[in-house]
Structure 1
């Protein structure tokens, strides 16, 4: 099993429905805050179920939702397939988007599931699809010195504030014996230093800067902004 196969099923990654809702609401609000103008074309790459994509689409000209898991895309079509301002894509569909047509690309919690070769290929693709004044956001990047314990503490803090602490604790225990742990041990998660990401962005033709805080609930992870140069 690879990571795409893993996400093409119901997984125990969320502690419950409240965790899932709060996660997607937080990410949607973060993306809304990054939209440069009301008519912007936005791509959310590796969007997951994007439960609040309608809120994001209401703040931009058009929203493209891309996910590699067929099951996830089916659910996106069920939820948003009739929305004129939302288009659902597979990763293979991205090549059909016009060059220099996007104002903002957000890839949140994606890099850890890619090989270095896959990441380099996507950076090249994203560079071609962005307008000259567009922005690429790489979020939730895992540093080599961030342990699963740190991630667990961040989740519990989020759960405490969000009112799902008990289910989060149970969820962590459940995940410890799940396929997620097994595949993480077998394949691993890609980890990068700040210097690694800056080098990769510059190699792909972007300027690069680390943002002050990470998108999402985990402050130990990193978010970067790249601009085509």
Structure 2
């Protein structure tokens, strides 16, 4: 039995309903992150990057891209995929804690906060705050508000699938997800949720000046994104 979200993400998961779903998700996310890069020489950390299939698009927009994921399996795959990319490095979470102070221009943490405890998020905020340069930015995205349920997530996925041409796969994938252990894990382990005021308060307590962004990263606009400045 899977005992943690970290263990869940270190294996094949039912989250992506098809290869096209996965590709369109990561391609769109890479383009959104690349658009956030403040200047061509920026050092960027994508914390909780997942498979980062199109990380080379982000690397083209910045000077150095650091990809961090808690899954050893994913880190190995990322290191193989981008072995020929001198601008890209792959880190474990403990490596982020060891980054030099004031060494980053931008940190993006997308779809990460829900899988962390409140204490774990606070530790990440301290690490990111210390590693960001004066004027640096943190984008904390895909934050789940308290009343957003699985039905809303499913509706957002189907709308995305209709736009991107994998609707039939999405319908079948939702059935597979219901029958998989992801649903039971959501009940057993839970997802950490924040309303807008609570997340802004946590960012302020960590030493950031923050505001909610007009749009979330990715397709699910029922979730929230925040911009935090050092």
What is the TM-score normalised by the length of structure 2? 0.98
Confirm or deny that 1:77 pairs with 2:75: no
Inter-partner Cα distance in structure 1 for 2:97 and 2:14: 32
* Structure 1 position 73, deviation (Å): 0.6
**Counterpart for residue 158 of structure 2:** 156
**Counterpart for residue 224 of structure 2:** 222
**Counterpart for residue 87 of structure 1:** 89
* Structure 1 position 99, deviation (Å): 0.6
Inter-partner Cα distance in structure 1 for 2:128 and 2:112: 14
Confirm or deny that 1:172 pairs with 2:174: yes
Contact 1:44 1:107 in 2 (8 A): yes
Contact 1:81 1:88 in 2 (8 A): no
Inter-partner Cα distance in structure 1 for 2:183 and 2:26: 22
**Counterpart for residue 26 of structure 1:** 28
Confirm or deny that 1:114 pairs with 2:116: yes
* Structure 1 position 147, deviation (Å): 1.1
Root mean square deviation of aligned Cα: 0.6
Q: How many residues get paired?
A: 228
Task: Give unpaired runs (5+ residues) of structure 2.
Answer: none
Inter-partner Cα distance in structure 1 for 2:93 and 2:181: 24
Per-residue CA shift, 1:122-162, capped at 9, x if unaligned? Answer: 10110000001100000000001111111100000000000
What is the TM-score normalised by the length of structure 1? 0.98
Task: Give unpaired runs (5+ residues) of structure 1.
Answer: none
Following TM superposition, the consecutive aligned residue runs of length 4 or more in structure 1 with deviations greater than 6 angstroms are: none
